[in-house]
Amino acid sequence: MKIEDCQALYDKVIYDLKNALDQDSFEALSLEGKKISKFLNGYIYVVADDEYSLSRINKFYINMINGYLKKYTTETILLKFLSAEEMQAINNKEEVTATSVEQDLDSKYRPGNIDATYTFTNFVVGKSNKFAYTYAIQTAENPGKHFNPLYIFGGVGIGKTHLMQAIGNYMLDKDINKKVLYIEAKEFCDDYIHACNQSQSEKQKKIDEFHNRYRDIDVLLVDDIQILCGKDKTQEEFFTLFNFLIDRNKQIVITCDRPANSLDGMADRLKSRFDQGLTVDITAPELELRLDILRKKIKTLSNKSDLPDEVLNFIASSFASNIRELEGALKRVFFYSVFNDSPITLDLAKESLNSLLKAQKNANKYSNNTQTYENIQSVVSSYYGITVSDLISTKRSAKIALPRHIAMYLIKEIYDLPYKKIGSMFGGRDHTTVISACEKIENDLKTNEELKMAVENIKKKLNI
């Protein structure tokens, strides 16, 4: 099939998807206007913009997308979405990586959106996560009995989602008929909003469907619960669901980026419910654990049994707080080696990771200051005479929107965090909303003297 024919098919499918989803959910996928990368062996390859959109596409929408594709062709073809690195590996005929990408994505996800690759077996255990790992296994073995809910908190990219979905996989391995549902809190919000925003004749039907989806289950796994902060109506719905499942001894597992009592903008009665079970934390991985993770990851990337110790130590020492970044750095070194047809040495590792380390250095350049992300929100709110709860709420008045945009802009400027992460700090807003806010403040600072003075004053209060 010619690439232009593939492009025409893709455009039709994305048009159908756009009509099926609400605007925010569709825009978060960043699929409109994308160009086909390659057609090979019955697969139409498309490179996703970032890890967040790639994850959502392949977890929640790939079956819908390929369902639409069948409407427009009788040929046996599928759309595949992948990262730029994976596409590069295919183009450079990296056999191992290309083979893994060619695997049917449907086989990766089990009933209830459970990622089959997240298991207890391949979860690398160390001092920083041993407590959480131990009680996750006990929860999986005795669902709904002892630790309900199980509340797991910790920073970004340190294994919370892996551990949560390992519970789901363990239960499905014991009983494939067990009804396990994994969702991101934002998906719960989107589903509820979609059910409510219907015509009067359709609204009750959609709400009933919403209730059936979330209540007719044995295990509920909710990722990033902090996204519910500031969303009062959605919190009420989740509170009702929580009580419904707990009363029936159905297991609930929740992940969050902070302890429940630190969730500003979350109803007290929900925080109390979260605390009624068992709370466990995962901290940043120690050096020994990071090295173990790298050694295990190597086996999935190459038939090599190991890399030079100096390379492993360099990567492990450079990416100390985030397992996702650690594994991403290792992948980057491998792909860089393949692309340049060069052996992996310390010099090559440093060269391949140079841009990532520069970005990391920029994010840490204010690390000696006392402010945190929350402190930035607090100082901005105080400056404009509003509360932090207002700042992260769904309110859109100009009085709140401007300081919200400024806070987003400052967090991005100072820490250079991913837009998705910043969005999660403001009630789970979509990354496109954060991009728009940051760009608006940046542009307005060039011409708006009043805004420029306000930002400078806020920075002084932050000791920047």
Is the previous residue joined to 149 through a cis bond, with omega within 30 degrees of 0? Answer: yes
Boundary residue ending a domain (331, 346, 364): 364
- Contacting residues for 462 by C-beta, under 8 A, at least 6 apart: 369, 371, 375, 376, 379, 410
- Same domain, residue pair 270 and 330: no
Q: What is the pLDDT of residue 242?
A: 96
CATH number at residue 341: 1.10.8.60
Residue with tokens 């052996």: 343
Boundary residue ending a domain (252, 282, 312): 282
Q: What is the pLDDT of residue 101?
A: 41
For the chain, residues with pLDDT lower than 50 are 94-106, 366-370
- Same domain, residue pair 155 and 264: yes
- Same domain, residue pair 268 and 137: yes
Q: What percent of the chain has pLDDT over 90?
A: 29
pLDDT tens digits, 251-292: 999 999 889 988 888 999 999 999 999 999 998 888 888 898
The alpha carbons of the chain give a radius of gyration, in whole angstroms, of 23
Q: What is the pLDDT of residue 362?
A: 58
Question: In the chain, what is the straight-line distance between the N-terminal and C-terminal CA atoms, in Å?
Answer: 56
CATH number at residue 228: 3.40.50.300
- Same domain, residue pair 431 and 338: no
Amino acid residing at 161: T
Q: What is the pLDDT of residue 7?
A: 93
Q: What is the pLDDT of residue 364?
A: 57
Task: Count the neighbouring beta carbons within 10 Å of the beta carbon of residue 368.
Answer: 7
Q: What is the pLDDT of residue 361?
A: 65
Measured in whole angstroms, how far is the alpha carbon of residue 389 from the centre of its chain? 23
- Same domain, residue pair 313 and 383: no
- Same domain, residue pair 199 and 65: no
- Same domain, residue pair 181 and 323: no
- Same domain, residue pair 444 and 396: yes
Boundary residue ending a domain (305, 335, 364): 364
Q: What percent of the chain has pLDDT over 70?
A: 92
Q: What is the pLDDT of residue 297?
A: 84
CATH number at residue 454: 1.10.1750.10
- Same domain, residue pair 261 and 174: yes
- Same domain, residue pair 413 and 278: no
User: Are the CB atoms for 415 and 363 separated by under 8 Å?
Assistant: yes
CA nearest 401: which of 375, 421, 427, 371? Answer: 427
Domain that holds residue 308: 287-364
Indicate the number of domains in the chain.
Answer: 4
pLDDT tens digits, 219-241: 999 999 998 988 889 999 999 99
- Give the separation between CA 156 and CA 202, rounded to whole angstroms: 39
CA nearest 306: which of 317, 315, 298? Answer: 298
Q: What is the pLDDT of residue 368?
A: 42
- Same domain, residue pair 273 and 384: no
- Same domain, residue pair 142 and 203: yes
- Contacting residues for 167 by C-beta, under 8 A, at least 6 apart: 136, 139, 140, 150, 219, 221, 253
CATH number at residue 83: 3.30.300.180
